[in-house]
Structure 1
Amino acid sequence: MTEHVPFITAETGDDLIVSFGLGPHAATSLTLLRTPKFEHLLPPTERGVSVNDKSSSADTPCFLVAVRWQGNSVHIQSTAKTYALDVSSVAPDEINEALAVLKQMNFDNRFKIDV
């Protein structure tokens, strides 16, 4: 099932964040997070972009495997599940900013990105 995304927020700084508001009123979100500044302190198996949709178990870390962005359709594959997103309502500047941050997140080619 495809989730409607009314907006995307992207942040840079110590944390790199791309967050997709989900549903018509964005009651929940799908958040991609990476903290390159401190990542070297983690074991290699815990490095990368974490994926959180608020329904994931806190006990099991979930990491980004691939992003496929084709027009208004975005498919995000994590180690736990795959998300299908409709970003047709999102402003072009929000999309461009999100893509730029995703590319920053992938500085070590840890996940596949197709845009």
Structure 2
Amino acid sequence: MGRVLLNLFTNAFYATQEKSKQSQSQFSGYKPTVTVSTNHLGNSIEIIVKDNGTGIPDAIKDKILQPFFTTKPTGEGTGLGLSLSYDIVVKGHGGTIAIDSKEGEYSEFTIALDLGSA
């Protein structure tokens, strides 16, 4: 799970850094923010990583968990981070990953794990 969180943090920091670069001309007053929260829901837990970066376009939301798919420029991403995270959470721990995002505004990844299988 450490690798999963590291991948989500790395992507969130990248997205906020990219938006910061754009903010010089478009988003004056932009303050990069990455939040992590947890919820205990009876017999399961949620880990939520949210950023206010560039967001994920609707057209690629279904692809970002696939191996070798990356939105980063050549040489900056392998396309393995989120697919490995998916495998660890879903196949390794029987959990789920939900993605909520609005292009240009935010991305939120919610990991849900059953306490019996975590």
What band does the TM-score fall into relative to the shorter chain?
0.3 to 0.5
TM-score between the two structures when normalised by the length of structure 2: 0.34
TM-score (structure 1 length as normaliser): 0.35
Larger of the two Rg values belongs to structure: 2
- Which structure carries more strand by proportion? 1
Between Structure 1 and Structure 2, the one with more helix by share is: 2
